[in-house]
Amino acid sequence: MASVAGVNGSSFQAWGGIALAPRPCYLVRVTETWQHARGALSLDHCLVMAVVNATPDSFYDKGRWIVSPAQQPDVSVVMGECRRWVELGADILDVGGESTRPGATPVDEATELERILPIITGLRADPELAAAPISVDTRHARVAEAALAAGAAIVNDVSGLADPQMARVVAEAGAGLVIGHLRGEPATMQAEPRFDDLLGEVADELGRSVARAEAAGVARERIVVDPGVGFGKTRAQSAALVGAGDFLRARTGCPVLIGASRKRFLAALTGGKPVEERMLASVVAAVVAATRGAAAVRVHDVGETVEALRVRGGIEAELSRAAAAARDR
């Protein structure tokens, strides 16, 4: 076995190229930041990205903010929810106008923009939300460009820069970037996902996307990677990737975001619970992700996740102090 450098200067053992040993239970996190178009987010704690769905066909909320017959989100209701989430501790508000759930039908860019621009404009104008940067969840460079002009600071691209203009748009705006891992399209991505070396292949493919972004002018300190839990992965593969933060950080050189909230693989771990009953499983997954090296988690259940992460952080801090005292004796 070989020792592999991990996040925050920790180390772990590699067997056959895959990190297996648990992280130490007391850690000292090295403070760093994630740069974006309107400032920077400290990574001294695991960031919480709140899911703001402006779609009528989301796999979880199923368009609860959509007003018929226009099929557009009720901006005032969305704004109220976002204020509540920020009060509860959300660090980022991630606004999306196209569902990328398995089997989802793509929407045209005009429809996507109609759904998200009023929300982004409203969020940006609200002084109560000034501390929380806005992320736009899109695969399309033209949508990202308009969203950034309207006030978004981060682009969350689940496709891994499938649009050849995306990296240029991000670079020109000085935006933050989440590079997701996805093979194929959401409509077909769950058709026989296959990996011979799950962690190695995901890391290598993310690394190539990071290199493309840097070649287009996106600075490394603006990039976060996302292994795409539930995006073209089996349930077992998704579960493994939740805990792969340290490994992916070591291999790509970028902080890692994990989005496991309410996803289907959790049903297999909870006796088949439907999406409406996966809150507890989602919070546990977020805590596991953070403990295993994730710099950020993307969630639906903001208050519960923030509280759980604070408890985890408090326990680690006290254990670290106790360990330091024991070493000094």
Q: Does residue 4 belong to any structural domain of this protein? A: no
Selected catalytic residue, list 29, 249, 262, 263: 263
Q: Does residue 244 belong to any structural domain of this protein? A: yes
Q: Does residue 2 belong to any structural domain of this protein? A: no
Check residue 72 and give its pLDDT. Answer: 73
Q: What is the CATH number for 318? A: 3.20.20.20
Under 8 Å between Cβ of 216 and 167: yes
What digits encode the pLDDT tens for the residues 169-207? Answer: 999 999 999 999 998 766 565 667 789 999 999 999 999
Does residue 3 carry a pLDDT above 50? no
Does residue 13 carry a pLDDT above 60? no
Q: Does residue 78 belong to any structural domain of this protein? A: yes
- Tokens 């981060």 correspond to 154
Q: Does residue 13 belong to any structural domain of this protein? A: no
* Structural domain span for residue 224: 30-328
Check residue 222 and give its pLDDT. Answer: 98
Note if 263 is an active site residue: yes
Q: Where are the alpha helices (DSSP H) in the chain?
A: 75-88, 109-125, 141-150, 166-173, 198-215, 235-242, 245-252, 265-269, 279-291, 302-328
Check residue 58 and give its pLDDT. Answer: 57
What digits encode the pLDDT tens for the residues 84-100? Answer: 999 999 999 999 998 77
Q: Does residue 107 belong to any structural domain of this protein? A: yes
Does residue 4 carry a pLDDT above 70? no
Q: Which residues pair with 225 in a beta bridge?
A: 179, 256
Q: Does residue 135 belong to any structural domain of this protein? A: yes
Average pLDDT, the chain: 87
Q: Sign of torsion, CA 247 252 255 257? A: negative
Note if 194 is an active site residue: no
Q: Does residue 298 belong to any structural domain of this protein? A: yes
Selected catalytic residue, list 298, 310, 312, 327: 298
What digits encode the pLDDT tens for the residues 159-170? Answer: 999 999 999 999
- Tokens 């993307």 correspond to 298
